[in-house]
Amino acid sequence: MKTLLVINDDPVQLHFLCGLLSKDQYQVVSYHSSEEAWLWLQQGHVPDGIVLDLHMPGISGWRFCELMQGHFPQPGPRPMILAVSATYSGSEVEDVLIDLGASAFLSLPAEPSRIRLAVAGLWKHSEKASGVRVWIVSTNVAQIERMRQVFHARGWQVVCYASGEQVMATSGECAPDFIVVDDPLSDMSGRDVRHWCKMSFPHATCILLESKPGSVESSLQVTEGDLVLSKGCDPNELLAQCEKGRWERALTRVEHLLETRTSDLRESEAQFRGLFEIIPDILVIHDQRGLVHHINAAGARQLGFSPSELLGQPLEKLFPSDQVGGVECTGVGSSLGETGWTETLLLAKDGREVHAEVTERPVRFAGKPQRLLIARDLSSRKQMEAEKAKLEQQLRQVQKMEAIGRLASGVAHDMNNIMTAILSHASLLKSRSDPQEGAWTVGDVIEKAVRRG
């Protein structure tokens, strides 16, 4: 059973990788700290493979690969390294890692099947020749053979040439990483070959073997970034110089990648802060303990604070005393998940309670996992809702009065019809009776009563 050392400072990723790889019958040893993993290796433990996160505090994944070069010198067995990262991606990163001694690179997130295949492929990679290519240009057959054997033992690909013309006829072949030129050649000087190689393959390191490595010409070559060694140098010394140059080149590229990444992060942070400050809602970034790390100025003003007054303060300061626990009491981030909103009360500096709807979600801030609380002031909405309710009540009252008026009008109309009939009959009774008769008097009384209403 192969042993895997998994190093990742993200507890979620670490748990996921360990659980996934354990299913493939690996004996998994895990550390969330690269320093702890390095101490484990120094105690004499030798895993078969290492799954290493590049972006970690302390000893980064880049530095860890560099340390592994010295801890497990070549030749000899060394763990295969799969570098993973959710921050970096691309072929340039992979090339740099190969130069630093990693076996493979995988950008996260990735499907579980891809991760398992990448780990399983580590030992297939070890059976293949290294991707490092070395050209040896020399007329000394014995010297060529000694160097070729040393480079082959390291797993590097070696191509030998007997003259400068042969080298210049290979412009269509894969670019070499190192070019060893044994000066002088039969058809031209080593300096001429070096000049052509640097023009054709600017990223290759040219190593010139001279009889007098301390000459003025040799000093010129050194200042231009290549190596000058004695013609009779030990091939193992030559290999060591190549390894050193390879690591230095890789570290230079790592520095460039880190500078680019840092610049991108600064630009992204500047954009984030710009957007953060212009959003009118209340935005609070706090840690898992509930301590405020950042709040936008517009949000702080809505509650009567300045941003500096709230930095480092517990989040509960923004909630009334009957809601101790702040966000936990609102249910945000639990029952509502990361996209739901709930209404609650916030506490302003002057003691007034502010109606608000809030939500919360996880974010990374200043390189650490944090929580983002978003609160939207509902005071205006509540006021509008109250005014709307008042207007609706007034409308209902008007509608009631209108209904009563219509009812009264209908009743009056009906009564008027009845009174008209009574009046008509009273007038008819009077017209058919003599004024001295009692009937006429009754009709007159009825008529007067009807007219009075």
pLDDT of residue 29: 93
112-127 vs 11-22: helix axis angle to the nearest 10? 70
Angle at 393 between CA 387 and CA 395, to 5 degrees: 105
Listed as ranges, residues in the chain with pLDDT below 50 are 127-129, 215-225, 325-337
Q: What is the pLDDT of residues 100-136, one digit of tens each?
A: 677 888 888 888 899 999 898 888 755 444 568 888 9
pLDDT of residue 337: 44
The DSSP output letter for 174 is P
Q: At 194, which amino acid appears?
A: R
Query: What count of Cα atoms within 13 Å lies in the side-chain half-sphere of residue 84?
Result: 22
pTM for the model: 0.48
The DSSP output letter for 204 is S
pLDDT of residue 250: 67
The three-state secondary structure class of 153 is helix
pLDDT of residue 27: 92
In this structure, what token pair is assigned to residue 50?
A: 């290492």
Terminal-to-terminal C-alpha distance of the chain = 113
CA quadruple 269, 270, 275, 281: dihedral sign: positive
Measured between alpha carbons, how far is 77 from 81 in angstroms, rounded to an integer? 12
Q: What is the pLDDT of residues 57-109, one digit of tens each?
A: 888 887 888 788 777 765 567 788 898 887 776 666 776 677 667 788 888 88
Please answer whether residues 302 and 310 qualify as being in contact, where contact means their C-beta atoms are separated by less than 8 angstroms.
no
pLDDT of residue 335: 40
* Other Cβ atoms closer than 10 A to 364: 8
141-154 vs 235-278: helix axis angle to the nearest 10? 40
pLDDT of residue 435: 82
Please answer whether residues 336 and 358 qualify as being in contact, where contact means their C-beta atoms are separated by less than 8 angstroms.
no
pLDDT of residue 220: 38
pLDDT of residue 326: 46
Angle at 266 between CA 263 and CA 269, to 5 degrees: 150
**How far is CA 64 from each of CA 18, 76, 83, 103, rounded to the nearest angstrom?**
20, 18, 10, 13
For residue 79, say if its preceding peptide bond is cis, omega within 30 degrees of 0: no
